[in-house]
Chain A
Amino acid sequence: MPFAFDTKLDQTFLESLYGDDVQYAQEVFEGFLADTKNEFEKIKSDYRQNAVKNMRQKLHKIKPTFSFVGLTALSEKTETIIAACDVSANTREIEPACSVLFKEIEDSFLLIETELIKMRNHT
């Protein structure tokens, strides 16, 4: 039985990316959690330290990775914050938008962890 990605994820894109190769999708989802979670902690640290440029660079780096796990909308929202970083002198200017984004990123980790468990149990 083919694996069905969660409807909250961009199923069409994920299917075009992985086809029926669930094992590879699993590797990518694991890689995403390992790398992006770590990078996200650094982003939050940059935010607290008001290091807009560093934060922007790290957001740019993680942006495509959201798409690889089907979080296409999150990738687009991250781009909006990146654009805001380009015209902001400090993180306070973009505080509301950042808070929303950070919350969504944290929620997405839970979604991807659940998806990963589903993949591991898939036969």
Chain B
Amino acid sequence: MKLKCIIVDDEPLSRNFLKRFCEKSERADVKGTFANATDAILYLESNEVELIFLDVEMPGINGFQMLDHLSNLPEVIMTTSKTDYAFTAFEYNVTDFLKKPVDYNRFIDALNKAEESYKNKPAPGEKRDIVIKSNGDYVRIDYDDILYVEGMGDYVKYVTPDKTYITHSTLRAVEDTVCKTNFLKVHRSYIVNIKKINQLTDNNININGVNIPVSKSNKAELLEKLRTT
């Protein structure tokens, strides 16, 4: 996996170091380096990247102001020589915060975080939660909380660690809406959250103490998902 990235820093040596670290890691593909935020914003208007290495203090638009200009935020690793900005960086929900001068090991830690966060990010248009009608009430369920979904004819059962919700729907409809990265139909009656699987035996998986059957036809895909998710 190679994240498409740009580097935004007014200081040439810092830019070169980050570029070199990206090349050395072979895990980040540097699509451009920019000495100011304005040029980077222009670039991002017509190009998509998955990661930005962003300096905080720059002449003109600073790093945080640049983030304000962007509607779709990729992973962001802030780089600065002052730790004073750490709290603001936290408020902007950036992936990581690197203090200059950055050493290679710390850089790799940040890159690991960015990769992990990128993998877990919903695709554009993909939702993080679902609203269902259960027992006459509308309930919002975060996809991350769902252990599995069980189909029961014209009804489905959403199972979370704390509660079970039954709603009028079909497993097919659920399959069309859930995040394809984390969910998989493993049986004609079950869609499971891959991340919640505790154990896989011959033709069963165990999630939170519940055994769920796996169809022969779905097993290969499940194993592949478990390897890559």
Chain A residues in the interface with B (C-beta under 8 A): 13, 16-17, 24, 28, 31-32, 35, 57, 60-65, 67-68, 75, 79
Contacts and interface: CB of A to CB of B under 8 A. Distances in A.
B81 to A, nearest CB: 5
A65 B11 contact: yes
A103 B206 CA distance: 69
Interface string B104-144: 11000000000000000000000000000000000000000
A121 B30 CA distance: 33
Contacts of B16: 28, 31
A16 B103 contact: yes
A86 B103 CA distance: 28
Contact of B104 (A16, A35, A62): A16
Interface of A is mostly: helix
Given A28-B16, A68-B17, A61 B103 contact: no
Question: Closest 3 CB pairs between A and B?
Answer: A67-B101, A64-B100, A64-B81
B13 A57 contact: no
A61 B58 CA distance: 8
Contact of A35 (B13, B57, B59, B82): B13
Interface in B180-198: none
A64 B57 contact: no
B175 interface: no
A63 B79 CA distance: 13
Given A28-B16, A60-B81, A13 B11 contact: no
A106 to B, nearest CB: 19
Contacts of B17: 28, 68
A17 B101 contact: yes
A64 B20 contact: no
B12 A35 contact: yes
Contacts of B59: 57
B13 A17 contact: no
Contacts of A28: 13, 16-17
A57 B58 CA distance: 9
A26 B189 CA distance: 64
13 contacts: A16-B104, A16-B105, A28-B16, A28-B17, A31-B16, A32-B13, A35-B13, A64-B14, A64-B101, A65-B11, A67-B101, A75-B81, A79-B82
Contacts of B82: 79
B22 to A, nearest CB: 14
A63 B81 contact: yes
B50 interface: no
Which of A60, A64, A67 has the most C-beta atoms of chain B within 10 angstroms of its own C-beta?
A64
B58 to A, nearest CB: 9
Nearest to B80: A64
Nearest to A24: B20
Interface string B1-38: 00000000011111011001000000000000000000
